[in-house]
Amino acid sequence: MSDILSCPPVGPSADIARRGPTAAQQARIAEITPFLARVGSRNQLLVRVTTEDGLVGWGESGLSGREQSVAATIRHYAGFLVGQDSRNIARIWQESYRSQYFEGGRVLTAAISAIDIALYDLLGKRMDVPVYQLLGGKQREVIPSFASTMGKDAAAQIEDVRVLVDAGWTCVRTYPGSFDASAAFDPWASLSKTAQELIAIRETFGNEICLGIDLHHRYTVAEAAAFCAMLPRGTLNFIEEPIRSETPEAYKVLRGMTEIPFAVGEEFSSKWEAARFLDAGVTQFMRLDISNIGGFTEAMKVAAMSERHYVDLMPHNPLGPVCTAASVHMSAAVPNFSWLENRHSPVEAHGFHDDSLFPQQIPMKGPDYVVPDLPGLGVVVNEEALVNQSPEHVEAPHMVRPDGSVANW
């Protein structure tokens, strides 16, 4: 009897036993873990997705300042995503988005974005190819970036722009020097000062640079129109987020009051939001954020919609190396692209790209990101160091106008 029991199995079951776990079993999601950490001057919410065979993918969420809400959503999604085949990325996106009656919204899509990016990182590693190969291959070797100056007056801004131009940048963005000085914000008082700053930069550097400004959606239609009218023709090449984006019709009104191109989209959390602006012709640069809009799955659809309208991507990228890497792979794979936002230029020292926490990142050559050939995103996360970076409580300034009423930050 013991001899019979000790005989090795035969037939189909024996073949399965010898082969071990199938590819689908190995690729099943074993764990989804959010990591909230302080990186430089900002909190970052990273997500690690681990599969049954121990492979790890990293993603990043983009809803700055409300990371705890997104982390809770990620944990909720893990409840029904663990056990699923990590390779079914598009289906996972649909189930995550549509599995509740109140679908969508920035918190949900920020969570979906991080998971989606991590799943693409996983799939690239599993197939031993860079993520852009999963998106149709690369269409460019380098990803040009634009850099920003935070100078508080024209002299400081001109000095920053000079540093950037000397380092090879040809596209530069400014912020109004009056921003973030205090919780008080007087829009009309800031307009003429900001116009003078931009005129001084243009006079100093001529037409050799592309010059834009981020107004951080602090103005009304009337205020933004008045600001544009203060600028000599050709001063600005783009104006970013002059007003809030809930109402495309308001942007259409403003579009008829100035010829300066608009750069809009970092607040979008779906292709449906983006479509309303594209169809109305009120954005000339699509500022989607891959860590907010829904990851690669949704971003590539918005890129295709933008191409139909001859609108180039100018991706929003205020975060860390994982978001940067995802943005680089997306930017490499689309035909319609202008510049990727850069927040670690020679004139910014926020520390978002800490080398001790991210020992392998997307390399730069002057103002350009070099498209990597490594599997997945091409980013290595020092998890042991990351868990020791406790997040800080962050609350953006609660801005008020001179009369005490609430203003946008």
Nearest to 31 by CA among 54, 3, 65, 12: 54
Counting other chains too, the contacts that 194-200 makes at CB distance below 8 Å and 24 or more residues apart are 194/227, 195/227, 195/230, 195/231, 196/154, 197/153, 197/154, 197/157, 198/174, 198/231, 198/235, 198/236, 199/231, 199/232, 199/235, 200/154, 200/157, 200/158
Cα 19 to Cα 15, 23, 51, distances in angstroms: 6, 10, 19
- The one catalytic residue in 76, 216, 309, 350 is 216
CB count in 10 Å sphere of residue 96: 25
DSSP string, 67-109: HHHHHHHHHHHHHHHTTSBTT-HHHHHHHHHHSSSS---HHHH
Would residue 217 show up in a list of annotated catalytic residues for this protein? no
Would residue 316 show up in a list of annotated catalytic residues for this protein? yes
Instruction: Report the sign of the C-alpha dihedral through residues 117, 118, 119, 125, in that order.
Output: positive
CA distance 259 to 18: 69
- The one catalytic residue in 76, 217, 309, 316 is 316
For tokens 């910014």, the residue is: 348
CA distance 365 to 169: 11
Q: Which residues are catalytic?
A: 216, 316
